[in-house]
Amino acid sequence: MMRPVLQWLVGLNVIICLLLFGAVLVSQWGPALISGQPAASPQDDPVGADYAPFHSAASLALAGKAGEAYHPKALQGEIKRLTGGESGAVWPYPPIFLLMLLPLGFLSYLPSLLLWLGVSLCAFVGVLRRLVPHVCTVWLALAFPGTFLNLLNGQNGLLSAALMGAGLVLLERRPGWAGAVLGLMSYKPHLAPLIPLALAAGGQRRALAGAGATLLGLILITSLSLGWELWADFFTGLSKIVGALEHGSFPRDKQASLLAAVRLAGGGPALAWTLQGAVMLLAVLAVVWAWRRPMPHNRRAAVLVLATLLFSPHLFYYDLALLALPLAWLGQEALEKKPAPLFWLLALIAWYVPLMTYPFRQFLGPVP
């Protein structure tokens, strides 16, 4: 059981987060919802700005112009047409994510955005509730900073956490279905590499088969629906985006990897990649070690999620919603075993890690 003082502090933290994040969301979303206009002016980003390329890419695909999503000028023109606002967005995702988004393209921007966030949030909260079946889980999920940042910016971190969490929850009892769900993580290639490694190390053959079948099925359906040539557009666009990431054209203070941190601190590319490579190797070794040895499933799953976040050299702030999964797994275990105070300190730091990013600092003013 949690100590009374700790219960009080956790409750106070949740209340403060809910009030603060709620106020920010109302101030940012209120004008758009009242006026029905996604952007306050033609020079402004639309509300939920990071969702704009999702919706516009789906709209282009429905119009038979899916390949234009990978051409920044065409995509930004579509965003301007649909939202009335400006955007410098690009489309870095594989065609299978475009297939998943197609139904949202039938709606106008604001209803589509609300549906996207509503479904993502419900899936995210539902998975966490399954992990920790406690009345407070819902409030903790809503107060989590990673939830707030994804809702504010219309991002897909909640979907990633829901898919990965659901797949890992199913793994013990329904490995085939678990693999099928984990296969959907292929929509975010930079978060997927360690999943098959973990399944292989753990001897999860049925899960591996399910993941492979899902991936192949998505590729086939996408190619038949949107055209095989779309993959050439994707790889051409991806090479340009990777180059832009390397040269700092994307804001590094929106990224959450060691690579970005070293570059922000003034380190050169060689040093940054050397350190990132070392962390990637350690992440791989940690996953193999955890999944090959006898260990409670919750701990193995937590290791995989944490290693996934450390492994990706181009991790962004919204991907940190995945931290909710190890917090839930290890927090549930901590309530039963009464860990040292250091655990709760580390959990508190992990809770606020998503706020140590550019979007939150925008509200505090420029940071030197």
Q: Round to whole Å and give the CA distance between 133 and 154.
A: 27
Q: Round to whole Å and give the CA distance between 363 and 129.
A: 31
User: Which stretch of 36-50, 97-111, 223-237, 318-332 has the lowest confidence by average pLDDT?
Assistant: 36-50
What mean pLDDT is predicted for residues 18-45? 89
Measure the CA angle with vertex 254, ends 251 and 22; round to 5°: 135
178 with 213: CB under 8 angstroms?
Answer: no
What mean pLDDT is predicted for residues 210-222? 97
With a pLDDT cut of 90, the percent of the chain lying above it is 68
What pTM, to 2 d.p., does this model score? 0.92
Share the mean pLDDT of the chain. Answer: 90
* pLDDT of 145 over the 90 cut: yes
* pLDDT of 51 over the 70 cut: yes
pLDDT score recorded for residue 302: 96
Residue that is written with structure tokens 């119009």 in the block: 63
Domain edges within the chain: 48-92, 108-228+245-361
User: Which residues face 267 on adjacent strands?
Assistant: none
Model confidence at 73, in pLDDT bands (50, 70, 90)?
very high
Burial of 334 (0-12, 13-18, 19+ CB in 10 A): middle
**Which amino acid is it at 74?**
A
* pLDDT of 361 over the 50 cut: no
**Which amino acid is it at 366?**
P
Among 206, 162, 151, 201, which residue's Cα sits nearest to residue 184? 162
What mean pLDDT is predicted for residues 279-283? 98
**Which amino acid is it at 194?**
L
* pLDDT of 122 over the 90 cut: yes
User: Which residues face 255 on adjacent strands?
Assistant: 316
79 with 53: CB under 8 angstroms?
Answer: yes
* pLDDT of 197 over the 70 cut: yes
